[in-house]
Amino acid sequence: MIKIIGVEKTAKAETQPRGKMIAYWTVTLLLAAAVMLSGIGQLMQYGGNLELVTNLGYPLYVLTILGIWKVLGAIALVMPGFPRLKEWVYAGIFFLMTGAALSHAFANDYGDYGFNLILPLSYAALNIASWALRPKNRKI
């Protein structure tokens, strides 16, 4: 006869290293702030947004659509929970920023020193970094 006296199982809490967590929040807050300010600028049609849109040949109502989506996306990035929504936001920001860079490239509107390409591509890079650094509780 075999007698089992006791079996102990210890659950090891999955924690993310502190440095990675700091990097995630730094990148994510920077991305959310940039997207939020960009969206507000587009909603207010401030800071050369009218010229950018008309130079690319888009109608002005595109500013309202993009501005609303950017503001909502920035909020969704920093609020707790909703991992599936965050995945959609990351995808949306990536397509939005790479689409902006391509729109400027196809319209030969590079800006000073390629600024109109570099800025949206740097936001896309921040987006990828935030997605890659996100903690387990923010993954699907």
Question: From CA 104, how far away is CA 132, in angstroms rounded?
Answer: 27
Residue 124 has pLDDT above 80, yes or no: yes
- Among 12-26, 88-102, 116-130, whose mean pLDDT is lowest? 12-26
Residue 128 has pLDDT above 90, yes or no: yes
Say if 5 falls within a structural domain: no
The structure tokens 């210890």 sit at 10
- The amino acid occupying position 32 is A
Say if 115 falls within a structural domain: yes
Residue 48 is part of which domain span?
18-134
* pLDDT tens profile 18-27: 999 999 999 9
Residue 17 is predicted with a pLDDT of 87
Question: From CA 66, how far away is CA 134, in angstroms rounded?
Answer: 25
How much is the pTM?
0.83
What is the percent of the chain where pLDDT is above 70? 89
Mean per-residue pLDDT, 7-24: 72
Say if 80 falls within a structural domain: yes
Say if 107 falls within a structural domain: yes
* pLDDT tens profile 38-60: 999 999 998 789 998 998 999 99
User: How many domains is the chain built from?
Assistant: 1
Say if 2 falls within a structural domain: no
Say if 4 falls within a structural domain: no
Q: Is 82 left (phi over 0), alpha (psi -120 to 50) or beta?
A: left
- Per DSSP, helices labelled H in the chain are 18-43, 49-56, 61-78, 83-106, 115-133
Say if 52 falls within a structural domain: yes
Question: From CA 53, how far away is CA 60, in angstroms rounded?
Answer: 7
Say if 51 falls within a structural domain: yes
Residue 9's pLDDT band (cuts 50, 70, 90): low
